Chains A and B, each alone.
Chain A
Amino acid sequence: MNSFKGFVTKEFKQIFRDKRTLVVLFGMPVIMLILFGFALRNEINNAQIAVLDLSKDAVTRDLTQKLASSEAFQLNTYLHNYDEVEEVFKSGVVKEIVVFEKKFAQRLTREGIANVQVITDATDPNLANIVQSYTGAIIRDYTQELNYQGKVLEQGIQPVIKMMYNPELKSVNLFVPGLIAVILMLVSALMTSISITREKEMGNMEILLVSPLKPIHIIIGKVLPYLVLSVINVITILVLAHYIFEVPFKGSYALFFGEAILFILTALALGVFISSVTNNQQTAMMISLAGLLLPTVLLSGFIFPVESMPAPLQMVSHAIPAKWFLIVVRSIMLKGSGIEFLWMETLILVGIAMFFMTLSLKKFNVRLQ
């Protein structure tokens, strides 16, 4: 066991001596979190809107005021007739036009119903969608207010939509768990596979295999430092996410770290596996990036929802550990779910972890013979 301690010490020395590795290890999580947190946003800020008010009464003025004072919108201009609609959109600045029908207030008080038309520039469908749902929410809020005041006598059927767990639809809440998965893949799988193949390239591995050390000791000695560093990275991301982006954490930390370590073990096993099928660092890096990082980013539900993928890709996504990890972490962080709701995903993760660990151990042993 003592030779094992020496192994781990040596590994840490090498990591801390290599400045480039250090930058990747500790700079990457911070940079990625800030990039994703600030740049990749789904929520809108100051989207330009225009209003075509054919009624010009107290209610429409009120509503326009409400829309304009929301942080999401900025009132760009008033239109005077329908012909202007296309022209305004063509300029590209205005993303949405709100049209109030004639005699708006009158119809609302007498018939209990009045029409607002919301026209969006759907060249950017995501943005159009969000803008529309924001507007809808503001208008519903307003009508509800009127109802309370008793100004509206009759009440039509109103859909009441509520976004639970992430009411502000903050995308950073969704990205943080995904980011944890990506960083763990990067640190655990990529770095491990590179560092093991380096020992092969330099010939150190041969000496180690000829020595009395058992292969399992070599593997654990190589991966343990990366396990520690991965956990440090997870903590860094959580702290940053909490203090900079105010991402909530509702569930149990113990459960979270348990699941994180499970995922790290899977990633480490993948790293060991990759290093056992390649002989040089470049190949190891390419396989890790293309074979692990890309699917983790694209197919896990990190950025694109799994539900909207075509069926064959959905099948593929089942085999990606990050998909299950994402479900688990999102539930723990945003909903505060306990193991009683997550046991199935956890079991799948355990299964995947065991599978890859056995596979990589086998592969590593076979190489010896």
Chain B
Amino acid sequence: MSELAIQTEQLTRTFGDFTAVDRITFDVKQGEIFGFLGANGAGKTTAMKMLTGLLTPSSGTAKVSGMDVYKEAEGIKRNIGYMSQKFSLYDDLTPEENIEFYGGVYGLRGQELKQKTEELIRSVGLEKFRKKLVRSLPLGWKQKLAFSISIIHNPGIVFLDEPTGGVDPVTRRQFWERIYEVSNQGITVFVTTHYMDEAEYCDRVSIMVDGRIDAMDSPDELKRTFNASSIEEVFIQLARSAERGEG
């Protein structure tokens, strides 16, 4: 396995006249927590979709886990986990059934799947909810469950698309503790967010404005370069130049 978990060069995606992602170049190191910041409509989700194989790039190159997004999409799929902002659990199934289903999708079966399911339910603390429908679970639990499911197959990289949207600060804090645990296991975490306080938890962050990456470094370095006291200030300085509105 290569040292770099993700490697892109001049990665671009256009939709007609609109350039959603404009020649972005960046690397993510193995085991890193990489924050992908940007206002709504800056191109975060499009960039992430190209890396996860949901969208083909218009130009440029990208490698995920050392595999080419154009040619080795199938190999990439086996080696990544993905959690979307909608949590993507089946709310008419129980947590147990969700785990078994997604585990099965990733090729776990029989004894291994049973064992993994038990392990996951215990680690998330879902024992009392195991026979209840996901629909009736509090948001924070759904989020924890969705995150655990996204790494059920021990991927090299996990992509989190605004995983903490709509959750209270305490739950968000707990969620980030989970992210650290996962990172300690050696899984690379690629996370998009628009909560600036969360950016401080990342090893490195990149800030996207109008489809470009305008800044990329560790949070401390960024604050020093922009002479700001928080990432939020850095972000506001950069975002002022944005031409695209919210959307």
Contacts and interface: CB of A to CB of B under 8 A. Distances in A.
Interface string B164-175: 000000000000
A6 B104 contact: yes
B88 A203 contact: yes
Contacts of A2: 104, 107, 109
Interface stretch (B28-36, B52-60, B215-223, B236-244): B52-60
Contacts of A211: 77, 102, 105-106
B93 A14 contact: yes
Nearest to B81: A210
A207 B77 contact: no
A210 B80 contact: yes
B74 interface: yes
B176 interface: no
A186 B82 CA distance: 34
Contacts of B97: 10, 13
A24 interface: no
B87 A203 contact: yes
B107 A6 contact: no
Nearest to B52: A210
Contacts of A203: 84-88
B78 interface: yes
Contact of A206 (B54, B56, B93): B54
Interface string B42-79: 00000000001111100000000000000000100110
A228 interface: no
Interface string B85-108: 111111111000100111011110
Give the interface size class of chain A.
20 to 34
A202 B88 CA distance: 6
A210 B77 contact: yes
B102 A207 contact: yes
A18 B86 contact: no
Contact of B90 (A3, A202, A213): A202
Contacts of A17: 92-93
Interface in A1-18: 2-3, 5-7, 10, 13-14, 17-18
Contacts of A368: 54
B120 to A, nearest CB: 16
A2 B108 CA distance: 9
Contact of B105 (A13, A18, A213): A213
A10 B109 contact: no
A213 B54 CA distance: 13
Interface in B14-47: none
A369 B104 contact: no
Contacts of A202: 86, 88, 90-91
A368 B80 CA distance: 17
Contacts of B82: 206-207, 210
B72 to A, nearest CB: 12
Nearest to A203: B86
A212 B54 contact: no
Contacts of B100: 6
B139 to A, nearest CB: 14
B113 to A, nearest CB: 9
Nearest to A368: B54
B59 to A, nearest CB: 15
A204 interface: yes
A208 interface: yes
Contacts of B56: 369
A18 to B, nearest CB: 7
Given A10-B97, A207-B88, A212 B55 contact: no
Interface in A293-351: none
Contacts of B91: 202
Contact of B53 (A6, A7, A18, A210): A210
Given A3-B107, A6-B105, A368-B54, A13 B87 contact: no
Contacts of B85: 203
Contacts of B86: 202-203, 206
A93 interface: no
A209 interface: yes
Contact of A7 (B77, B83, B105, B106): B105
A206 to B, nearest CB: 5
Given A6-B105, A211-B77, A369-B55, A14 B90 contact: yes
Nearest to A201: B86
Contacts of B104: 2-3, 5-7
Contacts of A13: 93, 97
A19 to B, nearest CB: 11
A10 B90 CA distance: 10
Nearest to B101: A10
A210 B83 CA distance: 10
A345 B80 CA distance: 49
A203 B86 CA distance: 6
A321 B144 CA distance: 47
Contacts of A210: 52-54, 77, 80, 82
B3 to A, nearest CB: 24
Nearest to A209: B54
Contacts of B101: 6-7, 10
Interface of A: 2-3, 5-7, 10, 13-14, 17-18, 202-204, 206-213, 368-369
Given A10-B93, A203-B84, A212-B74, 6 more contacts: A2-B107, A10-B101, A204-B90, A211-B77, A211-B102, A211-B105
17 contacts: A3-B109, A5-B104, A6-B105, A7-B104, A10-B101, A204-B90, A206-B84, A206-B86, A207-B150, A208-B105, A209-B53, A209-B54, A210-B82, A211-B77, A212-B77, A368-B54, A369-B55
